């Protein structure tokens, strides 16, 4: 892919994985989910998700940490969007991030939520924090909830195509400059 920075290539690779993730249970909130799932109102994610990579305690800590990064306020947060499920799928699909996530989560496993939040803030700028933030933001803003917060126009359905605003010039001759 010529003329694309590594960051752009990585983002495209992650979006491709997000598209693949949408086919698995627990991913009905992603934009690339089947159309019938997209038309339903946004519901809280089911509590029946079974992690593919993380152990249940690791997944619980991951879910809590994503919620600290994008908390619920007057808009849905990372927990509502199922970001931990997204990160679990990404980790199961990418061996390069498995060890950094697993080692980074280890210190959080036996801490209460308030202590987890303090520890996460203390790690601000560390490689683990940057990894958590990157995947949390990516997971949130590729979910339907995140795209709704961005007012993404691709979510809008039109019953009819909007008409051409140039009714007096349907062939758009006014847009061609003389040579």
For residue 85, give the nearest of 48, 121, 117, 116 by alpha carbon. 48
Residue 126 lies in a domain: yes
Close Cβ partners of 9 (under 8 Å, ≥ 6 residues apart): 1
Q: Which domain holds residue 63?
A: 54-154
Q: Worst-scoring range by mean pLDDT, 90-94, 123-127, 149-153?
A: 149-153
Close Cβ partners of 120 (under 8 Å, ≥ 6 residues apart): 65, 68, 69, 108, 129, 132
Contact predicate 71/104, CB 8 Å: no
Residue 177 lies in a domain: no
What does the pLDDT average to over 85-98?
Answer: 94
Percent over 90 (pLDDT), the chain = 50
Residue 122 has pLDDT above 50, yes or no: yes
Residue 7 lies in a domain: no
Residue 91 lies in a domain: yes
Residue 47 lies in a domain: no
CA within 13 Å, CB half, 60: 9
What per-residue confidence (pLDDT) applies to 15? 64
Residue 33 lies in a domain: no
Residue 123 lies in a domain: yes
Residue 153 has pLDDT above 90, yes or no: no
Count of structural domains within the chain: 1
Contact predicate 140/78, CB 8 Å: yes
Residue 105 lies in a domain: yes
pLDDT band for position 73 (cuts 50, 70, 90): very high
What per-residue confidence (pLDDT) applies to 12? 66
SS (H, E, C) the chain: CCCCCHHHHHHHHHHHHHHHHCCCCCCCCECCCCHHHHHCCCCCCCCCCCCCCCCHHHHHHHHHHHHHHCCCCCCCCHHHHCHHHHHHHHHHHCHHHHHHHHHHHHHHCCCCHHHHHHHHHHCCCCHHHHHHHHHHHHHHHCEHHHHHHCCCHHHCCCCCCCCCCCCCCCCCHHHCCCC
Contact predicate 79/86, CB 8 Å: no
Give pTM, 2 decimals.
0.70
What per-residue confidence (pLDDT) applies to 173? 78
What does pLDDT average to over the chain?
A: 80
What per-residue confidence (pLDDT) applies to 152? 79
């Amino acid at each position: 892919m010529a003329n694309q920075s590594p960051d752009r290539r990585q983002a495209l690779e992650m979006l491709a994985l997000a598209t693949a993730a949408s086919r698995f249970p627990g991913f009905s909130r992603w934009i690339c989910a089947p159309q019938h799932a997209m038309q339903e109102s946004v519901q809280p994610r089911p509590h029946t998700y079974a992690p593919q990579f993380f152990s249940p305690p690791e997944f619980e800590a991951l879910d809590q940490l994503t919620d600290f990064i994008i908390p619920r306020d007057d808009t849905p947060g990372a927990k509502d969007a199922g970001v931990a499920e997204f990160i679990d799928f990404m980790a199961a699909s990418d061996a390069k991030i498995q060890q950094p996530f697993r080692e980074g989560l280890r210190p959080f496993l036996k801490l209460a939520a308030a202590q987890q939040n303090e520890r996460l803030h203390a790690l601000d700028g560390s490689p683990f924090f940057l990894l958590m933030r990157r995947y949390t933001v990516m997971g949130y803003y590729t979910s339907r909830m995140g795209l709704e917060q961005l007012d993404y126009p691709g979510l809008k359905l039109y019953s009819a195509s909007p008409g051409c605003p140039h009714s007096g010039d349907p062939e758009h001759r006014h847009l061609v400059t003389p040579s």
